[in-house]
Amino acid sequence: MDIEAMRARLIRRRAEIEAEDEQAASARETVVLDQTSVGRLSRMDALQGQQMALAAQRRRQGELVRIDQALQRMERGEYGACVSCGEDIEPKRLEFDPAVPTCLRCASKLQAR
């Protein structure tokens, strides 16, 4: 496994997420409830859009955390080992998602809970 290539992918993905988050900042702004300029349904649509933008931001933040954790595992020389059982994570699994912290067996156990 080429750790440096994985590191580069993680760093690129981190930059993409940060750019997406910056572009979406205006959608998360507080919705003004001015009844003279916007109708009730339009305000509801704006509130729903705001909540969707906030949910997307939470997902992006979660992915950033996973990326940072993967980069830290690389620094410690622990990258590629499952954080739950210590066994090697399948190379194809890491190729698909370089930030994945667990092997398939442990991920399946976590999903079953």
Domains and CATH numbers, the chain: 3-112 (1.20.120.910)
Phi, psi of 82 (to 5 degrees): -60, 130
Condensed to tens digits (0 to 9), the pLDDT of residues 49-61 reads 888 888 999 999 9
Condensed to tens digits (0 to 9), the pLDDT of residues 61-83 reads 999 999 999 999 999 999 999 99
Tokens of 109: 């156990």
Tokens of 74: 């690389």
Alpha-carbon gap, residue 76 to 87, rounded angstroms = 16
pLDDT at 1 exceeding the cut of 80: no
pLDDT at 99 exceeding the cut of 90: yes
User: Any residues with CB less than 8 A from the CB of 3 and at least 6 apart, and which?
Assistant: 74, 79, 80
pLDDT at 10 exceeding the cut of 60: yes
Q: Express as a percent the part of the chain with pLDDT over 90.
A: 63
Confidence of residue 36 (pLDDT cuts 50, 70, 90): low
Answer whether 20's CB lies under 8 Å from 60's CB: yes
